[in-house]
Structure 1
Amino acid sequence: MRVLFAVSAWPGHYYPMVPLGWALQAAGHEVRVACAPSQTAAVTTAGLTPVPVLDGMDMVFLSRLRYLWDAQAGRWPYPWRPLHPLTGEEVTDLREFDFDRYVAEHTGQTFGALVRSFDAVVRLARDWRPDLVVHDPLATEGPLAAAATGVPAALHLWGPTGTHEPAEHGLDLVPEYPPGTFARWKVRGLDRDTVRHVIDPCPPELAPPTAARRLPVRFVPYNGPGGAPDWLLEPADRPRVCVVWGTSTTRMSGPRSFLLPAAVEAVAGLDVEVVVTATAEDLAAAGPMPAGVRTLERCPLHLVLPGSAAVVHHGGAGCAMTALHAGTPQLALTFAIEQALNGERIAAAGAGAHLPGHLADVPAIRAAVAGLVEKPAAAEAAERLRVSSSARPSPAELVDTLVDLAAGRA
């Protein structure tokens, strides 16, 4: 069987698909990954075969655009203004960016990039002739390639947010396009209601909302390449708390969202062992660390969390799901709708806590982490979720389901 993966230009969106790619290859199936050129190295490093033919707008720009749109509509909850989509500086006036003018001046350029991307993936699918397409929620190229070649498609979720979130959340993971966008390829509309199969890595307690057929799979963490120091394997003499920060948060939400220094200060004030993992840039920006704090540069999170009493992160699905896999209580400090939903749902399951970023000062973070470490309820709930997650079919077991789907036996 030939399986075409289609992925968006942000590694965290397709990292949950990597173990499935490994399982397909191990079972003797061929896998190709349609991606943007910027993702070639990451896909190759993950042991998969990239086909860098996709195009489109930068994910950071799209996020800034959405945040400013929300602010103009009165849905911006923070006491500061969002970033200008183009300059990355905090706007002085919400009307500083003219959406109508931007659309008028850039529609041709933007739509041209999309057409090139759509053309390329359809051409790839018609030439390579996959039996199945697997794609992340934002990679519209996936369902387009499947529809244009008449093969099934499966959307692979990356965490506790689903394809059919309630309207009040204001979150649509699956992009929508104007009517007629795909007529060039003889395909009708593609939106969340045309998604027929969803690969869901979440335990039932966190089942993301969807109207599609759910294909359960066990979450297997892939956090990028890297190793871990030997001391992580040694039992800690005090509860170990990990602090990890997402590189995308500051670029999308601005410098006031850089909570790494506050999180470290808060946790270092407790009687715990503190381990910080972040990029070299973020570690430098955080400044000198308190005495006794250990730092790791880009260490894969799944190597750090076993044996940890708690983890503090920005609410991204990769961090949240890796913590669930390890059975580690977690505190999410969030600045975006999806991350906030992740944090809220894990907190509602009892396995963690959630603080909106603008309310996450040092005392609040310290109190939340102390609650996770000192009270057994969070650890017990996190362990229940770990057990529930581990009972789901492995990626290797999902392969048989996908073979049936491709053969029309589903």
Structure 2
Amino acid sequence: MRILFVPAGSQATIFSFVPLATAARNAGHEVFMSATEDLIPAVVNVGLAGYPVSTLPFNYFIGKDRDGNPIDIPREPEAQMRAIGGGFARMAAATLGALIDLAEDWRPDLVVGGPISYAAPLLAAHLGIPYAVQAYDINDMNSGSDPGAHEELQPELEKLGLERIPAPDLRIDVTPPSLRQENGPAAQLMRWVPGNRQCRLERWMYTRPERRRVCVTLGNRVGLAHDVDFVRRLAKDVASLDVEVVIPVPGNAEHELREALDGVRVGWIPLDLVVPTCDLIVHHGGGVTSMTAMNAGVPQLILPVVAYSTMSAERMSARGAANFLTPERATPENIIEMGQKMLADSSYRDASLELAGEIAQLPSVGEVVGALEELAAR
């Protein structure tokens, strides 16, 4: 069987697909993954074959219309999610041709996309093959982006003779049962497994220090939604809690942060290695970061910058495993106060460990490969 994975346009979405894509390949199937040109190294570095679909990065499509005119992203949550859906739809429209070209030489039997990988259902409809969607995190089955995508993709839908974006033939959800939304769509549950690229091990990465350790990370967003200066200020705020601070960041920000933060461990450190050694993680609300912390049973202090991240932060906070501060509340004083509270209250750790236990009980990635095989055989 040939399976084409179509992520949404960020390293996080690529990493989310790695366990299932690797398991499918290890089961003897041919696996390709598409990506924008700037993200092909991320695909290749996790051991998968990468097919480039655009020289433009995904943030270009979020910030510009089809004619290249700038677009302002609204702050109101519902409007913001519609706008984001429109941006990913423009990316789908721009990359669909390249995917069709690939299929002429290497026709897949099945397409697996993410909830905002709108090129995946369009390609599957064009080829007349099954389409599965895998959630990247706990929000993905109902994020509010589809209406904006549907509006933006009218030309492509009309060309395919479709009234709306096709629903998947199979939904794969990684949400722990206690966080699943009521009346959500039926789905094949799957245990979430970290899939990011790795590094040369050093002992401090996988052992707990004598002092409490706090991880501060903005994922791969340094230079995008946040700048290096913000990370530096945030790290200094957290360090005032009398803890060891570790900062996983992309290589482009490592040198500047290392010079500015003497004694702080900075660099590309795989979260799945270091987070289990931490007592708290302070982060931007990215889906992969949240899932990694949840999988490790580590409490989360979340500083969301977009509506999507706020939704998941609210759900984890209601479960008792996290707290969050909106941008207007994320002052140094509030970050320090909230961090102290979470480090002192064991209930956050208890709730986080319960979620980790739920994740561990979900069907394995290998079992879900079997579900893909059944889907393609229909």
TM-score grouping bracket, smaller chain normalisation: 0.7 to 0.9
Aligned match of 1:103: none
Q: Does structure 1 residue 279 correspond to structure 2 residue 250?
A: yes
**Matched residue of 1:142: which SS?**
helix
Task: Give the Å deviation of 1:129.
Answer: 2.6
Task: Give the Å deviation of 1:58.
Answer: 3.3
What percentage of residue pairs aligned between the two structures are identical? 27
Q: Decide which of 237, 240, 243 is 2:210's aligned counterpart.
A: 237
Task: Give the Å deviation of 1:285.
Answer: 5.0
2-structure distance, mates of 1:116, 1:67: 17
**Aligned pairs, how many?**
364
Aligned match of 1:14: 14
In the alignment, is the contact (CA less than 8 A) between 1:134 and 1:142 conserved in 2? Answer: yes
In the alignment, is the contact (CA less than 8 A) between 1:351 and 1:379 conserved in 2? Answer: yes
Task: Give the Å deviation of 1:26.
Answer: 0.9
Aligned match of 2:112: 134
For structure 1, list consecutive stretches of 5 or more residues without a partner in the other structure.
77-109
TM-score using structure 2 length: 0.86
Task: Give the Å deviation of 1:249.
Answer: 5.7
Aligned match of 1:179: 154
Q: Does structure 1 residue 377 correspond to structure 2 residue 347?
A: yes
Q: Does structure 1 residue 188 correspond to structure 2 residue 166?
A: no
Moved more, 223-232 or 356-365: 223-232
Q: Does structure 1 residue 357 correspond to structure 2 residue 327?
A: yes
The AA in structure 1 aligned to 2:217 is V
1-structure distance, mates of 2:339, 2:112: 38
Aligned match of 1:155: 133
2-structure distance, mates of 1:173, 1:314: 25
2-structure distance, mates of 1:244, 1:222: 17
Task: Give the Å deviation of 1:182.
Answer: 3.4
**Matched residue of 2:205: which SS?**
helix
Give the alignment of 1:257-406 within 5 angstroms.
259-283=230-254, 286=257, 293-406=263-376
Task: Give the Å deviation of 1:210.
Answer: 8.1
**Matched residue of 2:74: which SS?**
helix
In the alignment, is the contact (CA less than 8 A) between 1:4 and 1:31 conserved in 2? Answer: yes
Aligned match of 2:74: 70
Aligned match of 2:85: none
Distance 1:203 1:311, change over 3 A: same
Task: Give the Å deviation of 1:11.
Answer: 1.3
Moved more, 346-355 or 155-164: 155-164
Task: Give the Å deviation of 1:194.
Answer: 2.4
Distance 1:249 1:174, change over 3 A: farther
Distance 1:48 1:187, change over 3 A: farther
**Matched residue of 1:251: which SS?**
coil
Aligned match of 2:54: 55
Task: Give the Å deviation of 1:114.
Answer: 6.0
Q: Decide which of 89, 103, 108 is 1:125's aligned counterpart.
A: 103
After superposition, what is the alpha-carbon deviation per residue over 1:193-238, rounded to whole angstroms, capped at 9, x for unaligned? 6234221112112226885431211110122232342123333212
Task: Give the Å deviation of 1:57.
Answer: 5.4
2-structure distance, mates of 1:30, 1:298: 30
Distance 1:339 1:56, change over 3 A: farther
After superposition, what is the alpha-carbon deviation per residue over 1:281-315, rounded to whole angstroms, capped at 9, x for unaligned? 43555575566x43131111111011211111111
In the alignment, is the contact (CA less than 8 A) between 2:213 and 2:280 conserved in 1? Answer: yes
For structure 2, list consecutive stretches of 5 or more residues without a partner in the other structure.
65-69, 81-88
Task: Answer with 1 or 2: which has the greater Rg.
Answer: 1
Task: Give the Å deviation of 1:130.
Answer: 1.8
Distance 1:392 1:139, change over 3 A: same
2-structure distance, mates of 1:148, 1:73: 33
**Matched residue of 1:275: which SS?**
strand
Aligned match of 1:84: none
Task: Give the Å deviation of 1:250.
Answer: 4.7
Q: Over aligned residues, Cα RMSD in angstroms?
A: 3.0
Distance 1:70 1:209, change over 3 A: farther
**Matched residue of 1:163: which SS?**
helix
Moved more, 135-144 or 306-315: 135-144
2-structure distance, mates of 1:50, 1:174: 28
The AA in structure 1 aligned to 2:59 is V
Aligned match of 2:67: none
Aligned match of 1:223: 196
After superposition, what is the alpha-carbon deviation per residue over 1:233-255, rounded to whole angstroms, capped at 9, x for unaligned? 33321221111123426524x65
Distance 1:327 1:115, change over 3 A: closer
Task: Give the Å deviation of 1:327.
Answer: 0.7
Q: Does structure 1 residue 29 correspond to structure 2 residue 29?
A: yes
